[in-house]
């Protein structure tokens, strides 16, 4: 007999598990279906983010940063170390522990909030009176019936045509997180978030890293001034980044991978490496969802078509996160998940796409919210800009990391903050102040007038706001 629920969430990633918890808080009887498995075959909710994305990559970035500091920067602090080595297996083991802690934390939250969890693949069976029948294919096959369905099935790594992932030599983000020894030579195709973060990890640990990017500009989505500053830092670190390349034939050999490509000058070149990471974007995941059974509409990219409220073409069916339009960011998925649960309850869920922060967790970190200078120019918006370098920030000097800057963009007439862009230490944390300010329609002057603790990195934010009016105090 089918088990009855008010809300069924298909997918237990950031969008799905958060939607399930919020729906349960609002008094609904909720089920969440997720098929991720740990190495023992048990449930591993959290989706790509927790299992092979945000969380494990940050664990490896932290480990590799410690190694980098010990090898190259401890001496500056009077700390003498010698014969520093890396135990890659131990590092990967720590990463796996961090992942499991997050998996277990989500399962605990389900119990705490009385969300019924089903381990397996969820798919549509048919529409029934007052809702939908959902099949769960797992160790024990089950049938659920829900009045409202939230799809949060995430995305999958995009492969190069004709070059499938084998996760041994040609790696997606999944395989990149399970490399068991430092490769002597490593290539990455794509200089986006995943490419830069994974390239940074293995470069710090001793790999010779080459990043091949098809676009002629570096980090085209980032403010141009910030991207140039970041590129200078990466070049100095030894990351070799080639722009404007056209990748040709890729061959796997006994020794590794051979990549043929044409550079920006039109020269035909070949690169032989031990491993190749392909990070050319992600595609919405609707595999096995059986959308045909109920007539759920997909677009030309394979994403589920939704309106501004995340409603699909079917009554009572919603979709959030990577499987719909918009940026593929875990926190965007979370916000949509909360909003949908509240809309189901008759409330007014809120997601402001203009204030969703973006972060690249390299060193230096890169973070931004709002529009870039090039976007404002293209839109014909009159604006004022202010920048402040971390070189002039006392806390950054004490940390020994003065790379980068904070940049404010404000409306030329009203002074409303239109965008904030940061490259430098702890940019991922500093950007939150800008998000709050923009949500409250703050002006640059508002931030300039707020007292910031001294010494702190956040003073660079205040100074950049002051710079909009050309009155910085420390530069």
| CA dist 439 → 325, 350, 376, 408, 459 (Å) | 22, 11, 19, 15, 20
- Cα 105 versus chain centre, distance: 20
Mention every residue, 6+ apart, whose C-beta is less than 8 A from residue 170. Answer: 163, 164, 250, 252, 257, 275, 276, 278
Contact 403, 397 (CB under 8 A): no
Identify whether 421 is a catalytic site residue. Answer: no
Mention every residue, 6+ apart, whose C-beta is less than 8 A from residue 371. Answer: 379, 381, 409, 418, 419
Which residue is catalytic, options 72, 73, 350, 454? Answer: 454
Looking only at the bridges linking them, the beta strands covering 417-424 and 365-370 are: antiparallel
User: What residues are labeled active site?
Assistant: 454
């Amino acid at each position: 007999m089918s088990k009855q629920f008010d809300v069924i969430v298909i997918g237990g990633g950031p969008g799905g598990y958060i939607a399930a918890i919020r729906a349960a808080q609002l008094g609904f009887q909720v089920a969440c279906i997720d098929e991720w498995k740990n190495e023992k075959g048990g449930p591993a909710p959290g989706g790509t983010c927790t299992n092979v994305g945000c969380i494990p990559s940050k664990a490896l970035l932290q480990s590799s940063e410690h190694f980098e500091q010990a090898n190259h920067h401890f001496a500056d602090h009077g700390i003498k170390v010698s014969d520093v080595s890396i135990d890659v297996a131990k590092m990967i083991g720590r990463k796996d522990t961090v992942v499991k802690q997050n998996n277990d934390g989500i399962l605990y939250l389900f119990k705490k909030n009385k969300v019924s969890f089903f381990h397996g693949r969820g798919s549509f069976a048919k529409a029934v009176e007052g809702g939908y029948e959902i099949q769960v294919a797992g160790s024990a096959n089950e049938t659920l019936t829900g009045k409202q369905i939230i799809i949060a099935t995430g995305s999958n790594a995009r492969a190069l045509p004709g070059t499938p992932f084998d996760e041994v030599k040609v790696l997606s983000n999944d395989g990149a997180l399970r490399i068991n020894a430092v490769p002597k030579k490593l290539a990455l195709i794509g200089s986006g978030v995943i490419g830069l973060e994974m390239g940074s990890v293995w470069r710090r640990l001793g790999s010779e890293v080459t990043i091949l990017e098809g676009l002629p500009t570096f980090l085209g989505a980032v403010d141009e001034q910030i991207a140039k500053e970041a590129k200078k830092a990466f070049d100095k670190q030894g990351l070799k980044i080639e722009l404007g390349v056209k990748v040709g034939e890729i061959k796997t050999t006994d020794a590794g991978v051979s990549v043929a490509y044409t550079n920006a000058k039109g020269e035909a070149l070949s690169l032989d490496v031990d491993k190749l990471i392909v990070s050319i974007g992600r595609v919405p995941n609707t595999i096995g969802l059986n959308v045909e059974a109920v007539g759920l509409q997909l677009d030309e990219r394979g994403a589920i078509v939704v309106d501004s409220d995340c409603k699909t073409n079917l009554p009572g069916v919603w979709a959030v996160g990577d499987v719909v339009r918009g940026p593929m960011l875990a926190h965007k998925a979370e916000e949509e998940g909360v909003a949908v649960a509240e809309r189901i309850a008759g409330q007014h869920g809120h997601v402001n796409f203009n204030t969703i922060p973006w972060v690249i967790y390299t060193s230096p970190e890169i973070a931004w919210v709002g529009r870039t200078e090039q976007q404002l120019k293209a839109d014909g918006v009159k604006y004022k800009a202010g920048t402040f370098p971390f070189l002039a920030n006392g806390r950054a000097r004490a940390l020994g990391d003065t790379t980068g800057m904070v940049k404010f963009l404000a409306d030329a007439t009203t002074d409303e903050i239109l965008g904030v862009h940061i490259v430098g230490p702890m940019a991922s944390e500093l950007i939150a102040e800008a998000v709050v300010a923009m949500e409250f329609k703050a002006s640059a002057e508002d931030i300039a007038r707020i007292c910031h603790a001294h010494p702190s990195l956040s003073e660079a934010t205040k100074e950049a706001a002051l710079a909009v009016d050309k009155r910085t105090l420390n530069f």
